[in-house]
Amino acid sequence: MNLSNLQLIMMGEVSQVQMTGYDLTKLLLEKGWKASHQQIYRDMGKLEKLGLVSLEYVPQSGKPDKKLYLLTPAGQEQLTNALDTEPSISRIQDEALVHLFLANTYYFEQLECRLRERLKTLREQVGKEDPLSALALTRELLHLEIECDWTVLVLRGLAPQEDEKAA
């Protein structure tokens, strides 16, 4: 069964403690995972249909019942299987490569600015997180530092082409 990364991380969280979709969304955002409420509820619905999570309804006075998600034994089995997955190395084919081949200097000037802003924000956050979130944040930080270094190299490489166009 192919499950998305989002589905796996959600299953991992509800395997620890049952929680609402709202609490799950909040927790994932705190850990740096980008997912909307709609994505969370849609994917939890899919996991429920697959029998990997179940819902427990908790009555609340004056409000709709609270829905708590919990991992089923089948979900625990899938999660255990996911831990045995062979790692894959992603191939990079993103918009930056498109703009490299288009020799779009403006794109890389803007990218460098945005990367530096994001790096500044991340550096301010490091150390304020729990150990696992700090490791995830550090991974993002290292990736962005390398991306920023590469962007500077691209700008240097494109500079001679800009000079040729001007001549």
Q: Is the dihedral of CA 125, 126, 132, 137 positive or negative?
A: positive
Q: State residue 18 phi and psi, 5-degree precision.
A: -70, 145
User: Domain coordinates of the chain in residue numbers?
Assistant: 5-83, 95-166
Mean pLDDT of 42-51: 96
* Structure token pair of residue 36: 């909307």
pLDDT at 150 (0 to 100) = 97
105, 137 in Cβ contact below 8 A? no
The alpha-helical segments, DSSP class H, found in 84-129 are: 95-101, 105-125
Per-residue pLDDT tens for 93-119? 899 999 999 999 999 999 999 999 999
Per-residue pLDDT tens for 141-159? 999 999 999 999 999 999 8
SS3 label, residue 71? strand
pLDDT at 163 (0 to 100) = 64
State the fold for domain 5-83: Arc Repressor Mutant, subunit A (1.10.10)
CB atoms within 10 A of CB 87: 4
